[in-house]
Amino acid sequence: MQDITPLLRTATLKELLIELFFLSDKPRTLSDLARAIDVDQTTVMREVNRLLETGVVVEERVGRSRTIAIDPSSPIAGPLRRLVRLAHEPPEAASGRTEGFSPMHAERAERRPLPSSRRRN
**What was the pLDDT predicted at 8?**
66
**What was the pLDDT predicted at 83?**
84
User: How much is the average pLDDT of 7-17?
Assistant: 81
**Which residue would you say has higher pLDDT here, 106 or 83?**
83
**What was the pLDDT predicted at 91?**
52
Angle, alpha carbons 15-88-115 (nearest 5°)? 75
The model's pLDDT over 51-94, given as tens digits with 9 standing for 90+, comes to: 999 899 999 998 988 999 999 999 999 998 888 887 776 555 54
Angle, alpha carbons 53-56-57 (nearest 5°)? 85
Q: What domains does the chain contain, in order, with CATH numbers? A: 5-113 (1.10.10.10)
Residue 6 has pLDDT above 50, yes or no: yes
